[in-house]
Amino acid sequence: MKTKHMVVIGDAFKMAELDDESIQLVVTSPPYFNVKDYGTENIGSIDSYASYLKSLRQVFEECYRVLAKGRYACINISDIISDRRKYPLHAHCISILQRCGFKYVDNIIWKKPSGRKNGNCSGALKRFGLLIQHPYPMYYYPNNVYEFILVFRKGDFDYKTLTHDVKEDSKINIRYAKLHWNTDIWEMMPETRKGHPAMFPEQLPEALIRLYTYKGEAVLDPFLGSGTTCAVAKRLDRSSVGYEINEAYLDLIKRKTGYHEDPHSFEIIIKKPRGEMI
């Protein structure tokens, strides 16, 4: 199936390239507050937690605007530890998305096999060490081995609009679904490839795209990073749109999405920081 893919190098505060209700699924992993270095000024490098949350809200308001009625938005996030303080990012995100108008639907736990590096906090797997050093009460901090996939919906969907053929063409393999998706705890290995500090594994957008879209529909990732969401959408016969503020990731995005093999399926827009095209 011929699909189209738009990559915008620019910030996602204003997604002027997208019409209202033109997207059928949002899949994203926002920049973590004050933890990762994404190589340029961005939401993750904002110093104040309140300003960081305000910026996330602006992007999620845009996601709400462009998402079609009855469709889903899935946010991969985890609480973070910065300066010895734990920030309940997932709880704040739930509240922000609800205030944008989304209905909170599910909280899927992405469990990583024990001992695997947690993508967002360097000390996440060393916390239990304190109890080993001090085997007494009140020295207990468990290692962090999971992230959240928060699932939201924009109102109700009219299932009668789907034809029999459209449904059959995107039918879900129930044997696979029973094995991997029957509960709200999904086990997936973290991404280990290099090139970007916080990639999610392809399995994550793949599950969400298969479970929440039909072939030919459009998936948006407002924080595209290395291009994982667009790459998977393309492989699954869905169109895609991705915003990424750091132009340094464009080469990686092109390689990951197969741009060089099929450039005609892509539109690449490079904006100046203020949203002006170059």
- Which residue ranges make up the site for ligand SAM (CB under 6 A)? 11-13, 29, 31, 38, 42-44, 196, 198-200, 223, 225-226, 228, 243-246, 249
**Comparing C-alpha atoms, which of 158, 164, 152, 151 is closest to residue 69?**
158
Q: Please report how close the Cβ of residue 233 comes to ligand SAM at its closest, in angstroms.
A: 12
CB of 128 to ligand SAM, least distance (A): 25
Q: Which residue is nearest to ligand SAM (CB)?
A: 225
Q: How far apart are CA 253 and CA 12, in angstroms?
A: 16
172 C-beta neighbours (distance < 10 Å), count: 10
The alpha-carbon radius of gyration of the chain (Å, integer) is 19
The C-alpha atoms of residue 216 and residue 39 are separated, in whole angstroms, by: 34
CB of 91 to ligand SAM, least distance (A): 19
Cβ proximity to ligand SAM: between 63 and 225 the closer is 225
Nearest to 209 by CA among 19, 61, 26, 69: 26
* Both structure tokens of 112: 């990583």
- Of 94 and 241, CB closest to ligand SAM: 241
Question: Phi then psi for 106, rounded to 5 degrees?
Answer: -155, 160
Q: Which is nearer to ligand SAM, 131 or 211 (CB)?
A: 211
Q: How far is the CB of 243 from ligand SAM (least distance, A)?
A: 5
Least spacing, CB of residue 135 vs ligand SAM, in Å: 36
Of the two residues 2 and 243, which places its CB atom closer to ligand SAM in the complex?
Answer: 243
CB-nearer residue toward ligand SAM: 166 or 277: 277
- Any residues with CB less than 8 A from the CB of 58 and at least 6 apart, and which? 13
